[in-house]
Chains A and B, each alone.
Chain A
Amino acid sequence: MALSKRHVWQMLALAAAGLLLGLGWNFFAGRPLPLLRPLPAPEAAAADVRFGEVDADFVLQTGSGILLLDARAAAAYRLGHIPGALSLPVGEFAGTFAALAPRLRQARLLVVYCSGPTCDDSRALASRLWAQGLKSLLLYKGGMEDWSGGGRDVEK
């Protein structure tokens, strides 16, 4: 009936085994938690961010420090894009981002567009950029359709 030292040792052993397994599990996990340090700030929930939107007039007067990003596939970009825009296809983000990153980080503001009001690539690209810490982001929702529909210059 009485509890003895043996029970205390057994409890300590169980607790220690739990701790070791937890640490081991963490060690082999894809993204281990930091030990004895505060948790990283909550992962910027890019999917929940509501990006501001701009129209063609805003894009037209883009001056210094404002960078236009074309989220469409590279082939579409080659066929014609808004003058001055850089190509950063969201489908090739992983391979393309690193090369562009220095320029993107220098820009004061990034404006992202894709083919038209109904495409989702600009939003998707903005989310990826947000997750990389680039948070001065706006969407040009009208996109290429709105741009060329208004008879504005298209660069090839």
Chain B
Amino acid sequence: MTSKNKLKGILSSPPLQALCRLALGGIFIYASLDKIAHPQEFARIIANYSILPDFLVTLPALALPWVELIAGLSLVAGLWTRSSALLLCLLLLVFMAALGFNALRGISLSCGCFSTSASDTENAYVLIFRDLLILVPGLLVVFFNRADD
């Protein structure tokens, strides 16, 4: 077995894959709950990002938390594993782009990451770095999960 195959074997090992699924899925399930409970507050946070036109902020505010919840649940359950993980990775990329865009514009805002509280304001670069860390288990599932292919 070459070392490349060995690495592949480790990355696609069931325990590691399960850990990644539970971590990523759990994070997104947790993140979705407060936003589902407070759609209006979340819509205002999206509006504060000043990226979407005003009339388009409510749809993502309503849909996004539920997408996070469903994809998180199916990832934890191991259904449509790679699709769920890929979807969540794409969401993370969108989040990072939105945070980065506003950081470059010098707009400081409430993240809306895990809660709709206005005090959830942190340095955008720290948040982007956090998203990058969360991206790791996601990419491991997308590229090395062998359960559903």
Listed stretches A28-36, A76-84, A97-105, A107-115; interface member = A28-36
Chain B residues whose CB sits within 8 angstroms of the CB of A1 once the complex forms: 143, 149
Chain B residues whose CB sits within 8 angstroms of the CB of A7 once the complex forms: 82-83, 86
Q: Does B56 contact A (CB under 8 A)?
A: yes
- B14-57 contacts to A (CB < 8 Å): 36, 39-40, 43-44, 47, 54-57
Q: Does B114 contact A (CB under 8 A)?
A: no
Assess whether A11 is in contact with B54, with CB atoms less than 8 Å apart: no
Complex: A39 Cα to B59 Cα, angstroms: 11
Number of interface residues of B (CB under 8 A): 34
Q: Does B64 contact A (CB under 8 A)?
A: yes
Chain A residues whose CB sits within 8 angstroms of the CB of B69 once the complex forms: 18
Chain B residues whose CB sits within 8 angstroms of the CB of A15 once the complex forms: 63, 67, 87
Q: Shortest Cβ distance from A5 into chain B, in angstroms?
A: 11
Assess whether B87 is in contact with A11, with CB atoms less than 8 Å apart: yes
Assess whether B66 is in contact with A18, with CB atoms less than 8 Å apart: yes
- B87-112 contacts to A (CB < 8 Å): 87, 90
Assess whether A29 is in contact with B83, with CB atoms less than 8 Å apart: no
Q: Does B74 contact A (CB under 8 A)?
A: yes
Number of interface residues of A (CB under 8 A): 27
Listed stretches A19-27, A45-53, A122-130, A146-154; interface member = A19-27
Mark B60-83 against chain A: 1 for CB-CB distance below 8 A, else 0.
011111111111001000001011
Q: Does A60 contact B (CB under 8 A)?
A: no
Closest-by-CB residue of B relative to A37 is B55
Assess whether B39 is in contact with A29, with CB atoms less than 8 Å apart: yes
Assess whether B62 is in contact with A39, with CB atoms less than 8 Å apart: no
Instruction: List 5 A-B pairs, minimum CB-CB distance, nearest first.
Output: A18-B67, A10-B83, A22-B62, A38-B54, A18-B66
B interface residues, Cβ below 8 angstroms from A: 36, 39-40, 43-44, 47, 54-59, 61-71, 74, 80, 82-84, 86-87, 90, 142-143, 149
**Subset of 12 A-B contacts with CB under 8 Å:** A6-B83, A15-B63, A18-B63, A19-B59, A21-B66, A22-B39, A25-B36, A25-B62, A33-B40, A38-B54, A38-B57, A39-B58
